[in-house]
């Protein structure tokens, strides 16, 4: 254990790790949360967050990394939802409710049967930012950098889908692939933030700041805090104005 001197205060290292994890997680969840709100995917994010507990249970059973297990389960849940959306008997919000609470309940049951492993259930449900380790910081830093770089790469197609999905598809935008990558980014954020804020509060970290910023932004670039130094053409500027003025908050 070591201490860092800040002015006249002695700060323990776990406080510094907690501060670094909180700042890093905020920088990751902010840009993604804007698109989650614009595309009305808040309940979808909640479903993936609830499925994280099932990933934790499978990680303990299979003896693999919990973060990788959560990402795998969240991505599987996304693909399952895409398949179930093709049927017309149940609405999307009904499917999300079924998947979210089924995954959460299965995860709780599976964890309760883990007799050889002691699981801090409250820590996974509500998080414990003061228990962040160096390994968790590496996951937050590496996952955050990968998420931001990937978001920059899919920025234009994702923005086009947000404005008008059918028109974007007609113009050749890979809608399915872009959505799948965006879902994977959400799953990654959920995995790295699970231990910090908990599976029940992850979605609020993405949705509430983005919704709060709705009245103070002027462009989509400002909203996601992603700066593109290349000059935008007239069509891109018009698209940005359309998103800002037409996407409901």
Residue scoring higher pLDDT (239 or 126):
126
Residue 196: C-alpha distances to residues 8, 32, 103, 129, 180 (Å): 28, 17, 20, 5, 25
Which pLDDT band holds residue 228 (cuts at 50, 70, 90)?
A: very low
Domain housing 237: 3-246
Alpha helix (H) ranges present in the chain?
13-38, 42-62, 66-84, 92-112, 121-126, 134-153, 155-163, 165-170, 175-197, 202-212, 220-224, 234-246
* Structure tokens belonging to residue 68: 């990788």
CA atoms of 56 and 31, how far apart (whole Å): 26
Which pLDDT band holds residue 238 (cuts at 50, 70, 90)?
A: low
CATH of the domain at 121: 1.10.3470
Least confident of 64-73, 156-165, 169-178, 210-219: 210-219
For the chain, how many structural domains are there in total?
1
pLDDT digits (tens, 9 = 90+) for 104-123: 889 888 888 877 777 777 87
In 3-state terms, what secondary structure has residue 111? helix
Which pLDDT band holds residue 219 (cuts at 50, 70, 90)?
A: low
CA atoms of 184 and 89, how far apart (whole Å): 27
Q: How many residues are given for the chain?
A: 249
């Amino acid at each position: 254990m070591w201490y860092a001197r800040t002015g006249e205060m002695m700060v323990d290292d776990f406080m510094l790790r907690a501060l670094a994890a909180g700042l890093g997680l905020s920088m990751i969840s902010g840009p993604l949360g804007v698109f989650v709100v614009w595309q009305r995917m808040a309940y979808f994010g909640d479903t993936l967050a609830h499925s994280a507990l099932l990933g934790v249970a499978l990680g303990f059973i299979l003896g693999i990394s919990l973060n990788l297990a959560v990402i795998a389960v969240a991505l599987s849940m996304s693909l399952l939802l895409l398949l179930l959306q093709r049927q017309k008997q149940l609405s999307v919000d009904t499917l999300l409710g079924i998947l979210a609470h089924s995954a959460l309940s299965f995860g709780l049951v599976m964890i309760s049967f883990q007799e050889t492993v002691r699981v801090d259930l409250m820590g996974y449900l509500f998080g414990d930012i003061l228990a962040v380790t160096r390994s968790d910081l590496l996951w937050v830093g590496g996952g955050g950098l990968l998420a931001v770089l990937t978001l920059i790469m899919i920025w234009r197609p994702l923005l086009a889908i947000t404005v008008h999905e059918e028109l974007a598809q007609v113009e050749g935008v890979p809608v399915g692939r872009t959505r799948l990558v965006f879902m994977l980014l959400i799953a990654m954020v959920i995995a790295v933030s699970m231990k910090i804020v908990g599976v029940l509060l992850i979605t609020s970290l993405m949705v509430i700041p983005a919704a709060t910023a709705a009245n103070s932004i002027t462009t989509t670039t400002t909203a996601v805090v992603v700066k593109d130094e290349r000059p935008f053409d007239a069509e891109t500027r018009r698209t940005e104005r359309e998103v800002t003025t037409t996407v409901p908050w």
